[in-house]
Amino acid sequence: MVSAPAIILVRPQLPENIGAAARAMRNCGLADLRLVRPRMRWPHAKARAVAAGADRVLDQAKLFETVEAAVSDLGYVLATTARPRDQVKPVLTPRAAAAELRARAAARTRAGILFGPERTGLENEETDLADAFVSVPLDPGFSSLNLAQAVLVLAYEWFQAGDVTPARRMPPAARVVPASKAELAAFFARLEAELKACGFLRNPEMQPVMARNIRSMFARAELTEQEIRTLHGMLTGLTQRPHAPRERSAGTATKGRPEASKSPARRRR
């Protein structure tokens, strides 16, 4: 964690924002908070209230008199800004900034990100030692991010750049075994036989198209083994059921298949 970037708040005005920034830092695995001349006395109870448990970050926050002192031990510094200056330095998106920060971390270079005061942002002189600017692409008609929100965006991108969570996965708690194609084919065969028998698939010309549409609908659901069993149970129940309406009985549909009864029975209520 030594190589995770420092978050440097320059002349922050509201302790609530410092607290919210600390919380966002903890969310994203950052710990090194530095404050350059905060407007209110420090430490401050309001910061702690908003930090919602990120006390360690607040307790370890370091105070500095100048930006130069706050970045003195760093080898790579980014300056956030809503309005990139006329200084000839690259302007990075937060995502590109995170990639740069990860590259520096891999090279064991200590890095930091400067954030200016709520209303005014960083002064020109305060960005002299920065290697690059970071600007968050936002609606041009409303591009002023709250300070803690800006810290979150940078911290979030830092974390994501090192995270390996699959873009799309199934909940870890759900024991998901995808149905095999053989199980799926067997279910389709049974379903189509039942639909022919009851007369739903009675038009021989339309039959192949309708069958394909029904298969598509189920294919899209990416069914599990358990769900195939549930569907078999549902089919058994529906075909055994008299055609005249009667009061529903949760037991009927899934007789002899207790493991399949849970999900549909719960839904029905």
Q: Which is nearer to a second copy, 25 or 201 (CB)?
A: 25
∠ CA 107-166-26 to the nearest 5 degrees? Answer: 55
Min. distance of Cβ 158 from a second copy in angstroms? 11
Min. distance of Cβ 205 from a second copy in angstroms? 31
Min. distance of Cβ 174 from a second copy in angstroms? 5
**Omega before 171 within 30 of 0, i.e. cis:** no
Taking the C-alpha atoms of residue 117 and residue 38, their distance in angstroms, rounded to an integer, is 9
Binding site for a second copy (CB under 8 A): 20, 23-24, 26-29, 52-54, 84-93, 95-96, 99, 133, 136-139, 142-146, 148-149, 152-153, 156, 159-160, 163, 165-174, 176, 224, 227
Min. distance of Cβ 96 from a second copy in angstroms? 4
Q: Which is nearer to a second copy, 201 or 227 (CB)?
A: 227
Query: Which residues have a Cβ under 8 Å from the Cβ of 36 and sit 6 or more positions away?
Result: 8, 9, 10, 11, 63, 64, 65, 66, 67, 69, 70
Taking the C-alpha atoms of residue 162 and residue 226, their distance in angstroms, rounded to an integer, is 35
Query: Which residues have a Cβ under 8 Å from the Cβ of 49 and sit 6 or more positions away?
Result: 16, 19
Residue from 78, 74, 111 nearest 93 by CA: 78
Min. distance of Cβ 114 from a second copy in angstroms? 16
Q: Which is nearer to a second copy, 10 or 14 (CB)?
A: 14
Q: Which is nearer to a second copy, 194 or 225 (CB)?
A: 225
Q: Which is nearer to a second copy, 165 or 216 (CB)?
A: 165
Q: Which is nearer to a second copy, 126 or 227 (CB)?
A: 227
Min. distance of Cβ 185 from a second copy in angstroms? 21
Phi–psi pair at 63, nearest 5 degrees: -100, 140
Query: Which residues have a Cβ under 8 Å from the Cβ of 135 and sit 6 or more positions away?
Result: 80, 81, 82, 83, 84, 91, 92, 93
